[in-house]
Amino acid sequence: MTTKFQDLNLSNYFLFAAAAEDEETSKLLVETLLGIEVGRVKVDVEHAFLYSSEFRSLRLDVYLSDEAEVRYNMEMENDRREALPQRSRFHQAEMDVMSLKPGQEFSELKPVYVVFICTFDPFGRGRYRYTFENRCLEEDFALGDGAARVFLSTKGTNEADVPAELVNLLHYLENSTDEYVSRTDDAKVRKLHERVMSLKRSRTWEARYMLFEELLREREKKGREEGLAIGREATARILRLVEAMTAAGESDQISRLSREPEFLTEMLEKYHLQGK
């Protein structure tokens, strides 16, 4: 049964993406979740599924960049799925390909953060935040490629090791209620709650949520009927497709793969990758 829009927590995929569509909210989330300061941010409307009136792509992650051209990809994770580290690798590769224009040097690649916000502990070590970067194993120094992958967990237990505002925000994700907010003096949580409550009062966003849920059920039904299996094989096929399109000089078309299912099918057929 579908949860009423007004009863959703911010951990809900749809509500999180709707809230992050607002640039001030995205800035608040980035700064609190990553523990960094950023300037003005811009949500990338090319990759925000909420801008599509028909939600033809049910993509659930949020792309944004800041004044220093650092790119961020944030995604809520409510279900413990296999290959989460590999999925973060794919997201990073996709962002790199999209950000480097034909003719640009690799040195022009800007820093990227891939951020998964989990309502479970992805590594079972009791941390609220796990940050990964490429490092030399022999002498333990950073590669310096500007890429970081961050996994947040609402089930962390190491309060003493992280800022209180991070803990408050992560707990708010699963308890986005007036009652929770009344028990905290955290200004960022209160500001975030104002955005959430504004969305919940909107008939337009409620209608979009109902449409999204309907399309999601249709997709799941179709997937069962066709016996679709989305897993490591599918991810590997997309990675091969991205590599093939890049080699063929079609990197500027890669962003269309996530937005246009018909174009994805066309490209898989063109490069003979169907079912491989």
pLDDT tops 60 at residue 231 = no
Task: Report the pLDDT averaged over residues 160-165.
Answer: 97
Three-class DSSP category at 125: coil
Tokens of 95: 């962002």
The answer, as to whether pTM is greater than 0.85, is no
pLDDT for the residue numbered 222: 63
Provide the pLDDT confidence category of residue 66 given band limits of 50, 70 and 90: confident
Mean pLDDT to the nearest integer, 199-220: 82
| pLDDT > 70 fraction of the chain, expressed in percent and rounded | 87
- Round the CA-based radius of gyration of the chain to a whole number and report it: 19
Using pLDDT thresholds of 50, 70 and 90, give the confidence band for residue 237: confident
d(CA 112, CA 96): 8
% of the chain with per-residue pLDDT over 90:
47
DSSP string, 135-192: B-TTT--B---SEEEEEEETT---GGGS-HHHHHHHHHHH--SHHHHHT---HHHHHH
What pLDDT was estimated at residue 9? 96
Could you read off the pLDDT of 24-36 as tens digits, one per residue?
999 999 999 999 9
- What span, in angstroms and rounded, lies between the C-alpha atoms of 45 and 128? 29
The pLDDT assigned to 101 comes to: 77
Q: Average the pLDDT over each of 30-34, 158-162, 263-267 and give the range with the smallest value.
A: 263-267
Domain ranges of the chain: 5-228, 229-276
The stretch 215-238 carries a mean pLDDT of 63
Q: Can you give the pLDDT at residue 159?
A: 96
C-alpha to C-alpha distance for 83 and 232, rounded to whole angstroms: 7
